[in-house]
Amino acid sequence: TKVQSADLRANKVVSCGCYRSDCTSDKNLRHGKSKTPEYAIWCAIKARCLNPDDPAYPNYGGRGIYICAEWRESFETFYRDMGARPSRSSTVERIDNNKPYSHENCEWRSRQRQNNNKRNNRLLTARGQTHTMADWARLVTTPYSTIRSRKRLGYSDEQAIFDI
């Protein structure tokens, strides 16, 4: 494949063309859904798990996250297991961040809910409940930056959340 050198430097091109052909092989074209968001999401999952040239690979395939064989080989199986995306804001979420993309470990979630399942989230516990710092900010209507600043100053979780 001929590509512009600027596109290579900007990571706009992630393969020589073989990855695209793998994602659009004739066995995957029978379903008639190659232009759907679900198909694009499936291709993106495969890319970040299988393609070392994908910018997201270090956080997925590079740390051992894989896509189950059934989904890797068949968009139709992925679609049968996951169904249609419930809303435009829904994304595929792995329930356990350290387990693979599979029917048992994935569900559709909103972006906000998915952000609560990141490895870098800070969990705070107060009054018998544990939530992310962002969720606490929404729950008690205190700015996130205020809670974060209080934690940096050494406040306990309860003090940071409720200013007591």
Model's pTM, two decimal places? 0.61
Distance set, CA 55 to CA 37, 38, 42, 67, 107 (Å): 20, 20, 16, 17, 23
pLDDT for 11 beyond 70: no
Which residues is 90 bridged to in the sheet? 110
How many CA atoms lie less than 13 Å away from 49 in the CB half-sphere? Answer: 20
- Residue 48 contacts residue 54 (beta carbons within 8 Å): yes
Comparing CA positions, the residue from 77, 123, 85 lying closest to residue 102 is 77
Sign of CA dihedral 37, 41, 46, 52: positive
- The rounded mean pLDDT for the chain is 84
Q: pLDDT tens, 55-91?
A: 999 999 999 999 999 999 999 999 999 999 999 989 9
Q: Which helix (H) or strand (E) holds 79?
A: helix 75-82
Structure tokens at 27: 């066995």
Give how far the C-alpha of residue 126 lies from the chain's centroid of Cα atoms, to the nearest Å.
Answer: 28
Q: Which region among 65-69, 114-118, 138-142 has the lowest average model confidence (pLDDT)?
A: 114-118
